[in-house]
Amino acid sequence: MARSGHPDYARDMTAPFAFTHALCRTPAPSAVNGIRAGGGPDPELAGIMAEHAAYVAALRELGLTVDVLPPLDAFPDALFVEDVALTFAEGAILLRPGAPSRAGEAAHIRAALAERHGRVLELAGPGHVDGGDVLRLADRVIIGLSDRTDRAGAETLTALLGDLGYRAQIAQTPPGVLHFKTGCGLIDDRTVLAVPAMRDCPEFAGLEVVLTPMGEEGAANILRVRDTVLIGARWLATQALLAARGVPFRALPTDQIARIDAGLSCMSLRW
């Protein structure tokens, strides 16, 4: 873990990272059968459980109140709660994930969101959106079109975000990038870490774009929480990049969840 007393990062506590709460879900035994796009070794349940526990512990150590929902064995990907909802201080939005196997997940988190948010909106009508395609910036929200998020869903979500006071832009996720946030994550409110394929994303106008080092494209799904960036432990070159910029970071194990096409941002809802 690296830390810095850089004054910019104290100021950035007012950016969209000053979370106080998070909602997670315990992995079910079925998590080893989560959606995966390619080959590679199968995940191990003990490893998934350990990585999830380390993640929850890190959020708590960073000062967040973290509630952990019970597992849902009927939904192998249910531990990735970010794909089924968005949470803000102003309210929550229930989404409609694009993968058919995840169609019923939102119903199982509705009550938990209603207990914690005075206002819960819902993506209704045609279209689908995965939360992994939604990147919140300091001044706007980017919705990436992908295999899991279509234009009809993105346009409906744009209207719902407007109801909560947020401006949205619709972007195109490059081919080969599963979710928009698979390929990018915020270092701070002015800087985005992105894979080379997203270097020229027009929606990044006004931001500094820092590219992932060669061979570490998987590092792009970082998660900024308060003054600390969470990053996968195996991405050593990217950690060195953050350290050189004076960015506080904490390295977490992600080897097992990566085997089911997941990363750091998708394991929690934060507000």
Cβ neighbours of residue 195 closer than 8 Å, sequence gap 6 or more = 177, 183, 184, 211, 212, 217, 220
Angle at alpha carbon of residue 259, lines to 235 and 47, rounded to 5°: 85
* Tokens at 185, concatenated: 């994550």
Contact in structure between 53 and 26 (CB atoms under 8 Å):
no
Q: What tokens appear for 224 in the block? A: 């900024």
Instruction: Determine the Cα–Cα distance for residues 144 and 172; give it in Å rounded to an integer.
Output: 5
Burial environment of residue 7 by CB neighbours within 10 A (0 to 12, 13 to 18, 19 or more)? exposed
**Catalytic residue positions, numbered:** 179, 266
